[in-house]
Structure 1
């Protein structure tokens, strides 16, 4: 609120607040500014010959390639990769959540399991692929297991840390109200740890897409990772770029879905405030 002098008096002048719609439009404009600049610059460099088209196609030419792929089996590749990601994510993050709750609430379990999980977590994703191919072949099982491994550890790590980070005063309050162990876990510990748990789930979903690409680049006949490999082998940078854009769009959509789920699940925080 600003003040202005009138007849020796300081009169407040209220600033008009911008509407939520105008703020959202301004936010969208800021968000697309950098991509538009990059596209225009890329188009200029390719059209003027500073970058060879066989290395980086002009953005305007990608639309024709996208239409060509869409008339073929593009959507089958998208569907195949998406269901692999979600199946591996649900298996891996589900197991990670169960083990994390068990370890986070049980000191003995933590002493037995934590050293092994920490060692396994340090193994690079590509190191699993030869072993999984030996055990399960090139079928779907090896790909789903690799994605599940990628989804397991972010959920496990964040959930254990969130449970250990619960304020001890909350547990003391539960003891004052004479809540039993299961009631304390259900009504106090898990709700207090839920922000950290949901952060782990979002990280797991992001890593699931990364592990999916690793799996499909090595052994697959369908999927976005296969498109990347096929584009490289046939010297089609347009296919590679379209696959990368698809990954960015799908990753953003799934992350936004998780963010909306997180907002809905943590709506109780607004009432507390």
Structure 2
């Protein structure tokens, strides 16, 4: 019993050490960059009006955190991101699975889907803004489109990769359609579906910030924060906005990665 507990504690220590090592590895380049930036600023290699020192940026960040505009920008950007992602991911999974399992859906929609997914995402913006203007709905639709295509494509690939043996078993035993989807198709396709969901999350955040850049005549957001910094020639505000955008993107992807590990682990146990 004691040997087992010692083995478990050793495994937990190793796991904790590996996590700490990964965190340290991820911080090497940012720390080196900030150190080089600080040295260049101290030696006056950089024009402080164009590129302020890290301490100046930190002071500006502390001041910005006390202002409601920054938090309103966070809330607005995340709200658009989650709304567009939820709609795009739901439609993408449903469409991809239907495309891979239903012949008439594939016959009608597959040719148009294969053509439309080749269109650059930002090519949709002029059309969207023409019909919906520069409002929140236009931005959410743009985010939805950015999520829909990768999620639908990977869901289709996941369904198409299911072995024909499983489909034959479902036909022989005459499983109900709902049971087949729930117990066979979705669990088997879930690794590829999660790849699509992860890509969709990356594209959603890029589209959120991109829509705030390109449809900047309405509302608030982190993208608008960067634009305001450019208009005011406030480099500290620009850098703060860039760092905030990057940190939020990393956090969102790490959350989805944890969910994916839990879901797929549950699938393997079942």
How does the TM-score come out when normalised to structure 1? Answer: 0.87
Kindly indicate whether residue 20 of structure 2 is the aligned counterpart of residue 22 of structure 1: no
Cross-structure match for 1:203: 199
The alpha carbon displacement at 1:54 in A equals 2.8
**RMSD after superposition:** 1.9
The alpha carbon displacement at 1:51 in A equals 2.5
Unaligned segments of structure 1, at least 5 residues: 1-15
Cross-structure match for 2:126: 130
Unaligned segments of structure 2, at least 5 residues: 1-9
Cross-structure match for 2:170: 174
Cross-structure match for 1:257: 255
SS in 1 for 2:48: coil
Cross-structure match for 2:6: none
For 1:103 and 1:34, the matched residues in 2 are separated by 43
For 2:213 and 2:22, the matched residues in 1 are separated by 36
Distance 1:111 1:53, change over 3 A: farther
The alpha carbon displacement at 1:105 in A equals 0.7
Provide the aligned length of Structure 1 versus Structure 2: 257
Kindly indicate whether residue 69 of structure 2 is the aligned counterpart of residue 71 of structure 1: no
Structure ranking higher on relative contact order (CA contacts 8 Å, 6+ apart):
2
Q: Whose helix proportion is higher, 1 or 2? A: 2
Cross-structure match for 1:51: 46
Kindly indicate whether residue 190 of structure 2 is the aligned counterpart of residue 194 of structure 1: yes
Which whole-Å deviations, capped at 9, do the CAs of 1:67-95 have from their partners, x for residues lacking one? Answer: 12112211111111000100011111111
Cross-structure match for 1:229: 227
Which whole-Å deviations, capped at 9, do the CAs of 1:143-186 have from their partners, x for residues lacking one? Answer: 11111111111111110111001122222333454424432222
Which whole-Å deviations, capped at 9, do the CAs of 1:181-235 have from their partners, x for residues lacking one? Answer: 4322221111100011111111111111111112111223410110121122222
